[in-house]
Amino acid sequence: MKLNDFIRFSYFYSMGNFRGKFGPLLIAEIGGNHEGDFEYAKKLTKLAINTNVDFIKFQIYTGDSLVSKLESPIRNQHFKKFELTNEQHLELAKMVTDAGIGYMSSVWDMNAMSWIDSFIPIYKIGSGDLTAYPVIKKTLKKEKPIIISTGLSAEKEVLECIEYIQKINPLYKSKDMLAILQCTSMYPILPSDAHLNVIAELKKLTNLTVGYSDHTEGSQALKYAIAIGAEILEFHFTDAREGKSFRDHKVSLTPHEVKELIEEIKLIDCLKGERLKKPTQIELDHAHEISFRRAVYPNRDIKKGEIINEDSVTILRPNHGIDARDFDKVIGKKINCDVVEHQKLEWKMFD
């Protein structure tokens, strides 16, 4: 990596490749929402920068390098209308990185890697290219972290893709180098098509970083994805959904919604807490381990020399004296002093 690249990306590498400022890596995808209008693309970029996400993502392509003009002429023309020039993409990349935000792109035009690579610390492979092995193979040569979306794919295809990648370069067996996103490639999708349970299953099957790329309306699926363990969130981004005909705007979050999402993520992270079960400091500060727990107490007056049976004692709060877990150890012992009902018992009272 060149020195200027190292300086540009050192912030992200210091956190871990797929670790964000607020926990999960947050990727706001402008994608094609600019619809080929460079001034609008710059406006969206500025708005996305102000949301304080970790990465802002674009798509680099030309109509002719992506879609056959003979087999699918309408789609070919659609993508041509959405094209930006090399210079415009570079200006957007510089805007993002100068602001201290990570720049990311799905580089659908393989020739573009030669001029955009210095701005990209993490490459993104879109759902449509999970089976485009030549694109993946060329991306692997960069030896940078890669995120792959899995829309359209069966589990078998996802695992085959991972196997292909790791066979070419074992570096990608590390969860710091390869991440997989649960995704459904339709815009928009019903909640029933999000299938967030795939996140946990992919983690178990791959031992890689797993996240979620959202195409539902609103932000609920993103919040629930975080709660069940998504380590990356990718979502489309726009300034407003009203009055827009391009489908991606409908599943996009606005600046205000992104900021709300970040606050929800902070709360979810706070609520999730630590993995190790232990008493909290506030419980200990209030001595709840004493006041809430029980000990063994006489349930009547007992005379010196009596043998304790189950009718002689009970368990009560607070946990003073002999812990309730030792109830059975008290049974059958002879008491060596008189005690009264509900008096604290101690081991020295028994022979």
Provide the pLDDT confidence category of residue 15 given band limits of 50, 70 and 90. low
Quick check: helix, strand or coil at residue 30?
Answer: strand
- Provide the Cα torsion 221, 195, 149, 122; round to 10°: 40
The answer, yes or no, to whether residue 97 has pLDDT greater than 90, is: yes
Other beta carbons less than 10 A from residue 215's beta carbon: 24
Start-end ranges of CATH 3.90.1210.10 in the chain? 281-349
Contacts 24+ apart (CB under 8 A), 269-272: 269/22, 269/23, 269/226, 272/227
The answer, yes or no, to whether residue 13 has pLDDT greater than 70, is: no
What is the residue type of 345?
L
Please state the length of the chain.
351
Going by their DSSP bridges, the two strands 313-316 and 295-298 should be labelled as antiparallel
Across the range 281-302, mean pLDDT stands at: 97
Start-end ranges of CATH 3.20.20.70 in the chain? 3-272
- What's the pLDDT at 244? 74
- What's the pLDDT at 28? 97
For 32-183, strand residue ranges (E) read 55-60, 102-107, 123-125, 146-149, 178-182
pTM exceeding 0.95: no
47-65 burial, b at 16+ Cβ within 10 Å, e below that, comes to bbbebbbbbbbbbbbbbee
Across the range 291-297, mean pLDDT stands at: 98
Going by their DSSP bridges, the two strands 23-31 and 19-20 should be labelled as antiparallel
* Distinct helix (H) and strand (E) counts, the chain: 14, 12
- State residue 329 phi and psi, 5-degree precision: -75, -25
Q: CATH homologous superfamily for 3-272?
A: Aldolase class I (3.20.20.70)
Pick the CATH number of 281-349 from 3.10.290.10, 3.40.50.300, 3.90.1210.10, 3.40.50.1820: 3.90.1210.10
Per residue in 202-255, pLDDT tens? Answer: 999 999 999 999 999 999 999 999 999 999 999 999 988 877 777 678 889 999
- What does the alpha-carbon distance between residue 121 and residue 96 come to, in Å, rounded to a whole number? 13
Please state whether the peptide bond connecting residue 191 to the residue before it is cis, i.e. omega within 30 degrees of 0.
no
